[in-house]
Amino acid sequence: MLTAQDAATLGFTSDTQPRAVSGPGLQLVGSCRDKLPSDAEIIQEQGKDWYTGDPLSVAVNLHQQTAQYPDGKAAQAVAELVAAGGCTAGTGSPTGTKQPQLAAAPGVDAQAAVCSEYEGPFAERNCVVVVAHGTLVTSATLDVQGNAAGEVKRKADAVFGKLGPLLAAAVTRA
């Protein structure tokens, strides 16, 4: 999971404790309409949330989920997520989706990102980033909303640019 120092690098000032997620129905990315086949293989899971900003100008929400799989299934989960379209989930009407490239990271077996932009009462950019290492996959859903589209884009780009390397470092130090 991301540390308090990682969160501060992204601009979050509060750090919550990770919570274990258990029971039936574990899911790597909760915004996926349909469960991924690999979701049935999840052994255990943790989740963590951060929030920052002013919802009336620009608010940033980050939800991180880390799942453990049997050997060989973590990279498969990343491939399934990409095949499913990334499972972004904004609140308005989608205006575009892209798969930005993440910089290669040492020790990472697979990684991907999908971002979508939405128009509605607020401008919104929603990105899902997944990184696999060994038996672990960490996913982060970044949601940036606000009443100024230019500021939402600027803030989303700034946080997204730092998020991939921080997730890669977090999953490989586990």
Fold of 4-172: Protein Transport Mog1p; Chain A (3.40.1000)
Structural contact between residues 140 and 1, judged by C-beta atoms closer than 8 angstroms: no
The 10 Å Cβ neighbour count of residue 121 is 9
Q: Which residues of 34-57 are buried (b: 16+ CB within 10 A; e: fewer)?
A: eebebbebbeebbbbebebbeeee
pLDDT for the residue numbered 67: 95
Going by pLDDT thresholds of 50, 70 and 90, the confidence category of residue 23 is: low
Domain ranges of the chain: 4-172
Structural contact between residues 108 and 168, judged by C-beta atoms closer than 8 angstroms: yes
Q: What is the tens place of the pLDDT at every residue in 67-79? A: 999 987 999 999 9
Q: What is the tens place of the pLDDT at every residue in 125-153? A: 999 999 999 999 999 999 999 998 899 99
Q: How many CA atoms lie within 13 A of 32 on its CB side?
A: 24
Structural contact between residues 87 and 128, judged by C-beta atoms closer than 8 angstroms: yes
pLDDT for the residue numbered 21: 77
Contacts of residue 19, Cβ cutoff 8 Å, sequence gap at least 6: 46, 47, 48
